[in-house]
Structure 1
Amino acid sequence: WISAEFALGGVGFTQYATAAYTDNILDEFTYYGMDYLKDKYDFDYTAPSPDQILEPTQDLVNDLATEVNLNAMEQYESYPTMMEDHFGGSQRAGVVAAACGLTCSISTGNSNAGLNGWYLSMLMHKEGRSRLGFFGYDLQDQCGSANSLAMDSDRGLMGELRGPNYPNYAMKGEFQHTGGRY
């Protein structure tokens, strides 16, 4: 079942087992982001406090997501076995984007900052590697950034308002929405 999940690609779909499947690499990329936060913004993730939460600006999201994304893509280039272990562009893109999203949301306490960090990472990965997935299954990896600040009930609610009926773009083809349940 794991190979079937990863073959489909996508933003949410690949994340169901990615953390367990990709060894400690997601952790490594996220800790890089935490170290960057500590060095540049004096943000100590080991002792969270409302006083140190950073303002969720687009400039901050751009800075954090770009730094974490570029580091992760360099790591994949430096260690070809890691790239081989994480087969398929959508799996690598998902791991990198998760680290970017975590870094942005942990530092700001804002779920939309995390989503925008995720989608910025996806767009950077697409520009840097020409594609995210294979067989053209990379639309869902990019289609959320335009909706991340929309308040339409079927597109881009804030993370705190999304419920179980929030459309997962990657799963739409596999599991059609049926009366409020998947």
Structure 2
Amino acid sequence: ETYPTALESHFGGSQRASVLAAASGITCGLATANSNAGLNGWYLSMLMHKEGWSRLGFFGYDLQDQCGSANSMSIRADEGLLGELRGPNYPNYAMN
């Protein structure tokens, strides 16, 4: 984390975030034998990365595209969480 790679210095933190998220998602999916748990492992890793470094990189990796915890419910609305469960910052997840 202290010394960025050449790829990261070119693309920002998006490669680091996606590699960590892929490892987390695969581990969760294999450990639980549940693909939805693996997807949530990806989302949790992206959220933790964003909270730790306040960014996911700039190369096409927007927060609302990569942190889909709002989209992993059993009942899906058209966009994001159900109306009753939306947070105070609903339209702008990326502004957190």
- TM-superposed deviation, 1:149: 2.3
Measured on the aligned residues, the alpha-carbon RMSD in Å equals 2.7
Q: Counterpart of 2:66?
A: 141
Match for 1:125 among 23, 26, 49?
49
Q: State the alpha-carbon separation in 2 of the partners of residues 120 and 154 from structure 1.
A: 22
Q: What is the deviation of 1:114? A: 0.4
Contact conserved, 1:125 with 1:132, CA < 8 A, in 2?
yes
| Aligned match of 1:90 | 14
Tell whether the 8 Å contact from 1:100 to 1:114 is kept in structure 2 after alignment.
yes
Q: Is the 8 A contact 1:101 1:114 kept in 2?
A: yes
C-alpha spacing 1:107/1:152, structure 2 compared with 1 (3 Å): same
TM superposition shift of 1:153: 8.0
Supply the AA of the counterpart residue of 2:76.
D
Greater relative CO (CA pairs within 8 A, separation 6+):
1
Where does the alignment leave 5 or more consecutive residues of structure 1 unmatched? 1-76, 157-182
Number of positions where the alignment pairs a residue of Structure 1 with one of Structure 2: 77
Question: What amino acid is aligned across from residue 6 of structure 2 in structure 1?
Answer: E
| Cα offsets for 1:141-172 (capped at 9, x unmatched) | 22x1111123338669xxxxxxxxxxxxxxxx
TM-score, normalized by length of structure 2?
A: 0.65
Instruction: Specify the code of the residue in structure 2 equivalent to 1:138.
Output: L
Runs of 4+ in 1 over 4 A off after TM superposition: 153-156
- Cα separation, 1, equivalents of 2:78 and 2:30: 26
Cα–Cα, structure 1 residues 91 and 114, in superposed 2: closer, same or farther, change >3 Å? same
Identity of aligned residues (%): 62
- Structure 1 residues 151 and 126 mapped into 2: Cα distance closer, same or farther (>3 Å)? same
Match of 2:90 in 1: none
- Could you tell me how far apart the structure 1 residues matched to 2:51 and 2:17 are? 12
Structure 2: state its 5+ residue gaps. 81-96
Alignment match, 1:112: 36
* 1:90 and 1:138 in contact (8 A); partners too: no
